[in-house]
Amino acid sequence: MALLAGYAARINLPEALDRHLSFELTSPNAIRPTDIILAFVGGVLTGARRFAHIEALRHDEVLGELLGIRRFPSDVTIMRHFTRFGQKELYERFEPLRAWQIKQMTPPGSYTQDLDSSVFERYGKQEGAVLGYNPKKHRRPSHHPLLATLEENRSVIHSWLRSGNTASVSCATEFLGEALAALPAGAVAKAIRGDSGFDSEKVFAFLEGRGLRYAISARFMRGVKKEVQAISGWRELDADVSVAETVFQAKSWSRPRRLVVIRQRDRPNDFVRGKELFDDKAYLYQGIFTDLPDAPEEVWRFYRKRAVLETRIRELKWDYGLDGFCMKKFYATEAAFRMVCFAYNLMQQFQKELGIRTKKTLGVVRTMVLACGAELGRDGHKMVLRLSLSGKRRERFRGYYDKIFHWEKPNGVAVETG
């Protein structure tokens, strides 16, 4: 965590948190809001999946000293702080903080934006936790968040927490507008990818009106099924996969749109994405509405890269506890939800700065970089952090240390003593 604390100081993270997320406090004994947020982020990155898990860090003097926290807050204090956020505070405080972070992560260029929703099961009585679509735990109250990510820099560029009975397409154009507006100057979205929840005339018209390319999975409603069944010109890519394309216009649509269809043979013990549509159970089908000019197989290959977003959502749930920090008040839960997304983006920046080229999950980064026994002591009047590192791991750490602290003179005592 010394490396991460050094990186946070290098990008002026405490100052940014103090500038955007501070509240006017009246109690002279109150803990600074910046310290509360740093404690929460530190807890998330060290493995906390519930507010109660952060309580274990209160007596970790080393972590508190590294993060610059004057007095480590309790889990109750952290939860109470998030209850300060209402809808107005979320917009006025989190939006500038998100813009500050995204600007650092997103240099000028073209980007592909991916859209997806998820389901967070809830236990208890929380605002917005109601019955809705839940494929795993039926009749279980849930929240239904929306997330937008960028493929090129692996960042969560925008996120909403919504009630469990909200459809994926509900307010999708508003969400898309905010996600596109979140791109800094010089960065443009070249294409949008989304699952079947965004198969809607409103979404298509919104993207076409802005001149954006898109590839969105089709819902196999009755009209789409009839159109797919009428296809005769299938072109085989191999023994198991065939592609075709047609033009489809629903009754409620203003114009017809291109539909790329993929037919895959359903083989035993093989994971194939698609749906069984007709009496022939040997094949599974997948449809993609698109305005891309490429060949059908190229559109399919382009769309398949969107599956990376699903793995990121799983990582956000399993490693960052995105679905675990829940409170009774809806906007308090959304504040914690957005702060976890902020911590995720921070870790992507941190990995890039360390020179880790391939994407690593937080669990792997903890083992490689963050998890290490340490002792806080003094060498004369200087505070020294002694780390229990040896062999190849110490050499690797020294390489990371030089990249993060190249703007300072390294403390030889802290590293060389092991």
Residue-wise pLDDT for 289-304, tens only, equals 999 999 999 999 999 9
Q: Which candidate, 158, 218, 232, places its Cα nearest to that of 189?
A: 158
Q: Which candidate, 175, 243, 231, 237, places its Cα nearest to that of 203?
A: 175
- Which tokens in the block code for residue 107? 């240099």
Q: Which candidate, 131, 156, 145, 127, places its Cα nearest to that of 332?
A: 127
Q: What is the pLDDT of residue 344?
A: 95
Q: What is the pLDDT of residue 159?
A: 93
Q: What is the pLDDT of residue 347?
A: 94
Which H helix or E strand runs over 184?
A: none
CB 213 within 8 A of CB 189: no
Give the Cα separation of 182 and 41 in Å (integer).
22
Residue 415 confidence class, pLDDT cut points 50, 70, 90:
very low
User: Lowest-pLDDT range, 48-52, 113-117, 132-136, 302-306?
Assistant: 132-136
Q: What is the pLDDT of residue 146?
A: 93
Q: What is the mean pLDDT of the chain?
A: 88
Rounded to 5 degrees, what are φ and ψ at 55? -60, -30
Decide: residue 78, CB within 10 A, 0-12 exposed, 13-18 middle, 19+ buried.
buried
User: Does the pLDDT at position 417 exceed 50?
Assistant: no
CB within 8 Å of 284: residues ≥ 6 apart: 263, 264, 265, 266, 272, 273, 274, 275, 276
Q: Tens of pLDDT along 36-94? A: 999 999 999 998 999 999 998 888 888 888 888 888 999 999 999 999 999 998 989 89
- Which tokens in the block code for residue 175? 């969400």
User: Lowest-pLDDT range, 243-247, 315-319, 357-361?
Assistant: 357-361
CB 228 within 8 A of CB 287: yes
Q: Tens of pLDDT along 197-233? A: 899 999 999 999 999 999 999 998 889 999 998 888 8
Q: Three-class SS of residue 174?
A: helix
Give the Cα separation of 61 and 167 in Å (integer).
46
| pTM assigned to the model | 0.89
